[in-house]
């Protein structure tokens, strides 16, 4: 499904890229080998294919040399482009599995992470909480506790962003008993942390209401 020639945004070319990306995902998963996605990453001449190949490598083969190399290459190539670096954060924040929380904390030490930048907060912390069900919903509740700490901190600077990210906890009552208990504790942690913005206080009160 390779699209030959220069990049074109027309519908037919976009459709072929989308189909090619889908094929790459399924073939890489079926083969259980990072080689195909690594080749696709090296051959890509547009962001659609490049970022998808990086996502396949990072999500399916997170501990492979190919994934580490691609993540580093992507960062080196686009470190001067804030919007693309947001994508770099999002791809890593949504890597499935419990280990991702440690990666999130490490990325918060990156020179690219700016705690006062709403886009960066949404890309890293928001993506983790809202788009990584296996990573965020860890059985030990560490994902919920991490989020509580971040909401308390972010709320002091940007209540709107804090409230938006906090909506990831709206369905906590539908969790099984152990996870629901951890989630409730995290909400109490926010509730009892001190003065909260109107935005966050409203959400906390509604989410704890029986």
54 and 128 in a single domain? The answer is no
According to DSSP H, which parts of 2-141 are helical?
11-31, 35-43, 47-60, 65-78, 82-93, 100-107, 118-121, 127-131, 133-136
Which of 14, 45, 78 delimits the end of a domain?
78
54 and 124 in a single domain? The answer is no
Ranges 98-102, 196-200, 206-210: which has the least confidence: 206-210
pLDDT tens-digit series, residues 128-149: 999 999 999 999 999 999 999 9
pLDDT above 90 (res 9): no
> Which of 126, 116, 122 minimizes the C-alpha distance to 153?
116
Count Cβ atoms below 10 Å from residue 150 Cβ, excluding itself: 23
* CA atoms 135, 138, 144, 146: torsion sign: negative
The pLDDT assigned to 10 comes to 87
93 and 70 in a single domain? The answer is no
Half-sphere exposure of 165 (CA within 13 A, CB side): 30
Which of 54, 78, 102 delimits the end of a domain?
78
> Which of 66, 61, 35, 39 minimizes the C-alpha distance to 50?
39
Residue 12 pLDDT level (bands cut at 50, 70, 90): confident
The pLDDT assigned to 166 comes to 98
The pLDDT assigned to 129 comes to 98
Separation of alpha carbons 12 and 9, rounded Å = 8
138 and 202 in a single domain? The answer is yes
pLDDT above 90 (res 77): yes
> What is the C-alpha radius of gyration for the chain, rounded to an integer number of angstroms?
19
97 and 177 in a single domain? The answer is yes
Give percent of the chain above pLDDT 90: 91
* CA atoms 148, 154, 155, 161: torsion sign: negative
The pLDDT assigned to 210 comes to 58
21 and 110 in a single domain? The answer is no
pLDDT tens-digit series, residues 155-193: 999 999 999 999 999 999 999 999 999 999 999 999 999
Residue 4 pLDDT level (bands cut at 50, 70, 90): confident
20: domain range? Answer: 1-78
Which of 62, 78, 94 delimits the end of a domain?
78
129 and 147 in a single domain? The answer is yes
Terminal Cα-to-Cα distance of the chain (whole angstroms)? 52
The pLDDT assigned to 6 comes to 81
Give percent of the chain above pLDDT 70: 99
CATH number at residue 166: 1.25.50.10
The pLDDT assigned to 71 comes to 98
57 and 99 in a single domain? The answer is no
Which pTM was predicted?
0.93
Indicate the number of domains in the chain.
2
69 and 111 in a single domain? The answer is no
pLDDT tens-digit series, residues 16-44: 999 999 999 999 999 999 999 999 999 99
Residue 1 pLDDT level (bands cut at 50, 70, 90): low
């Amino acid at each position: 499904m390779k699209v030959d020639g220069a990049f074109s945004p027309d519908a037919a070319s976009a459709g072929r890229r989308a189909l090619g990306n889908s094929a790459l995902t399924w073939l890489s998963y079926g083969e259980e080998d990072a080689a195909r996605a690594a080749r696709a990453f090296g051959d890509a001449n547009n962001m659609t294919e490049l970022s998808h190949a990086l996502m396949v490598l990072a999500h399916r083969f997170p501990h492979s040399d190919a994934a580490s190399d691609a993540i580093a290459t992507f960062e080196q190539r686009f470190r001067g482009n804030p919007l693309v670096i947001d994508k770099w954060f999002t791809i890593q924040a949504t890597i499935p599995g419990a280990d991702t929380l440690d990666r999130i904390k490490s990325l918060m030490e990156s020179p690219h992470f700016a705690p006062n930048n709403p886009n960066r907060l949404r890309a890293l912390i928001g993506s983790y909480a809202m788009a990584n069900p296996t990573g965020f919903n860890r059985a030990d509740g560490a994902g919920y506790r991490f989020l509580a700490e971040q909401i308390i901190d972010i709320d002091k600077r940007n209540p709107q962003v804090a409230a938006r990210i906090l909506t990831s906890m709206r369905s906590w009552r539908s969790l099984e008993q152990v996870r629901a208990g951890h989630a409730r504790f995290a909400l109490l942690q926010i509730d009892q942390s001190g003065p909260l913005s109107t935005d966050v206080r409203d959400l906390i009160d509604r989410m704890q209401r029986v």
